Structure 1
Amino acid sequence: MRRFALAAALLLAPAVAHAWGHTAHAVIDRAAIQAIPETGPTFLRRYADYIATSATLPDSWRGDSEGFSKIEEDPNHGWFREQFAFLKPIPRSRYAFVIALYKHYETIKDSDPATAVRTNVRWTGTLPYAAMEAYERVIVCMRAIRAAQASGGDTAVPEQHCAFDVIRLGHYIGDGAQPLHDSVNSDGWLGPNPNNYTRDRSIHGRFESRFVDAIGLTPADIASRIAAPAHEQGDMFTAVLGFLDQSGDRMERVYQLEKRDGFANAADQDVRALVYERTAAGAAMLRDMLCRAWAESARPPAKVTPSPLDFSNPKFDPETGSAPA
């Protein structure tokens, strides 16, 4: 009983998974824009300062005093995979995902209350949906840029719209690149702990902010580590899920490295290597999504018949009121 009470207390205790510190987010955004090839959306180079300076703007939408904004935005920054291992495949709808979580909660709330208490949208996260929503808004604003170019009009306003949407997309992809954003162990180890990993919630900030700031991370540190372009073809939602899985698979490595000295040694080459690898991965994914969005924007919008809102659409989901993407 005491063991269960401890586990329940750990699960119930509030812990907020914040993003990479501003330094890493800004580096990811700048490095991604610098890596855009000449065939891509090079206009974003003119907005690199604005985008990088605003890289942590979405975190400001999560304040306790702005309750409506907080309840919508908080889940967008995490993807705690252990909480929805039961759910295969992952739904292609934010709302279908939320409904599936609640149904599972109803199933286990009496038999496994410690798990049920976190089987909800806040404690599982919605990061891939936020990323895809931002990505598709980027496509739309890039279409407007192309239309202005074709008509000889001014592209400044649609470019500004696009730069703002890139801030959102870059933030969510940057979060997803940080392994602690992809696990229930985001802010200290939860549950059984045979390896005696820290339960100190400050591990999150000590890794992604204090250590990153101590090493003075810059775009030059990761430029050569950014992978060659990928994702020109294929389903982008699947690619985002794969990116998050790759990052989440490195979660325990963060805890292993923390056991050395709590990230207090800025000269630790293994921690540096992990930071470089993860921020480079985030920059590569963001670069790829921006380039893919630019390519998609050159095509006319796909005609979906019947409409996703039409009851006759074979994929129409009566629980969400729409066919999924």
Structure 2
Amino acid sequence: MIKRLALLLTALSASPAFGWGHQAHSAIDRAAIAALPADGPIFLRAYSDYIAASSTIPDGWRNASEPFSKIEEDPNHGWFRERFAFLKPLPRSRYAFLLALYRENQRLLHSDPASAAWINVRWTGTLPFAIMEQYGHLVADMRQLRTARANGEAQNAKFLEQICAFDVIRLGHYVGDGSQPLHDTMNSDGWRGLNPHGYTADGSIHARFETAYVKLIDLTEGDVRQHMAPRSHEEGDLFDAVLSYLNAAGDHMETVYQLDKRGSFSRQSDPDARALVYATTAAGASMLRDMIARAWSESQAIDANLANPLDPQTPGYDPTTGSAPAKVDPN
């Protein structure tokens, strides 16, 4: 038993840090749900405690003790954008993205094996794909909820509300992770590569910022709501909006290292560190609110003219993935 425990602790210590700690994830989710518009899925407010209490459930799927789960889930929490700067435009398909990484890995394997070692799904992440896939689940389940209500199926509708609440837990976790700047960079767990400013290479910076400091300032739902942006993302291509959102969060990455270097995360009163936490968590709550509200709107009907991405006759169909990429939403 002692040996097994030691092995487990070793495995956990070798794993990359998780997303925002529970306090921040919970505050982001609560703020987003409280800020839903009156014509949105306000039934979710009845599940606010459940969603907030379960906000870090997806992190529990990343333990080495469940290897199949960890292999599938781990990349969904990161987006190390420096690693795939070669890839333009970004594929609108998880599988096309993975194949592009594989081809680049193979291209570099002999000429630059050190770089090739980082060009794989684990060290690039798949966060925007996880966000969009879970968003699709939420739209589909909300559509079923609407149907159950229309058919007078009260008990089934109640169950579907609970399913939608769980969808929000997962979507909220991925969106929340994306608002944490260290989830959008290869420097997620300590500075890598050239380091002229002498930033820490210690992986503990991740937890020092997102968990210890959040607890130190006692971040609340009210703090997050106070800094949320007005509603947006009601139209236009949502995948592009998600990418822009992740890029904006990642642009704060060096600020995290600068604040850490001057010891800001050990001082409750540091105004710049507080401002960064407020701004990033509020951005996450704003994005989550907008995506939940848009999902509810999109669940009203299905466009019968949409092409099936699995149909070989669909334009852009790729036989290596067995699908066509998601189309750009013009609305």
- TM-score, with structure 2 as normaliser: 0.92
Q: CA deviation at 1:302?
A: 4.2
State whether residues 206 and 262 of structure 1, in contact with CA within 8 Å, keep that contact through their aligned partners in structure 2. Answer: no
Matches within 5 A, 1:28-43: 28-43=28-43
Q: How does 1:1-325 map to 2 (within 5 A)?
A: 15-154=15-154, 155-261=157-263, 263-305=265-307, 307-325=308-326
The separation in 1 between residues aligned to 2:64 and 2:251, in whole angstroms, is 31
1:160-212 deviation line (CA, Å, top 9, x unaligned): 11011111100000000000000000000000000000111000000000000
Q: Aligned with 1:231: secondary structure?
A: coil
* 2:38 partner amino acid: E
Cα distance in 1 for residues equivalent to 2:304 and 2:62: 34
Residue aligning to 1:6: none
Q: Which amino acid aligns with 1:269?
A: P
Please give the per-residue CA displacement for 1:209-239, whole angstroms capped at 9, x wherever unaligned.
0000111100111212110000110011111
- Say which is worse superposed, 169-178 or 313-322, in terms of deviation: 313-322
Deviations 1:247-277 (A, max 9, x none): 0111000001101116111111110000000
Q: Deviations over 1:62-102 (max 9, x none)?
A: 11011110000000000000000000111010010000001
Partner-residue secondary structure (3-state), 1:122: helix
Q: Cα RMSD between the aligned structures?
A: 1.2
Gaps of 5+ in 1: 1-12
Deviation at 1:34, TM superposition (A): 0.5
Instruction: Find the aligned partners of 2:37 and 2:132 in 1 and give their Cα distance.
Output: 22
Deviations 1:77-129 (A, max 9, x none): 00000000000111010010000001001111222222111100000000000
Q: Distance in 2 between matches of 1:14 and 1:291?
A: 38
Query: Matches of 1:17 and 1:243 in 2, distance apart?
Result: 21
Return the alpha-carbon distance in structure 2 between the equivalents of residues 233 and 132 of structure 1: 15
What percentage of aligned pairs have identical amino acids? 60
Aligned residues of 2:58 and 2:173 also touching (Cα < 8 A): yes
The 3-state SS of whatever aligns with 2:173 is helix
Provide the C-alpha distance between the structure 1 equivalents of 2:108 and 2:33, rounded to a whole number of angstroms.
Answer: 45
When normalised by structure 1's length, the TM-score is 0.94
Q: Secondary structure at the match of 1:263?
A: helix
The corresponding residue for 1:10 is: none
Aligned residues of 2:264 and 2:270 also touching (Cα < 8 A): no
Change (3 A) 1:75 1:169: same
**1:144 Cα offset (Å):** 1.2
Any conservation in 1 of the 2:17–2:207 contact (CA below 8 Å)? no
CA distance in structure 2 between the partners assigned to 1:179 and 1:28 by the alignment: 15
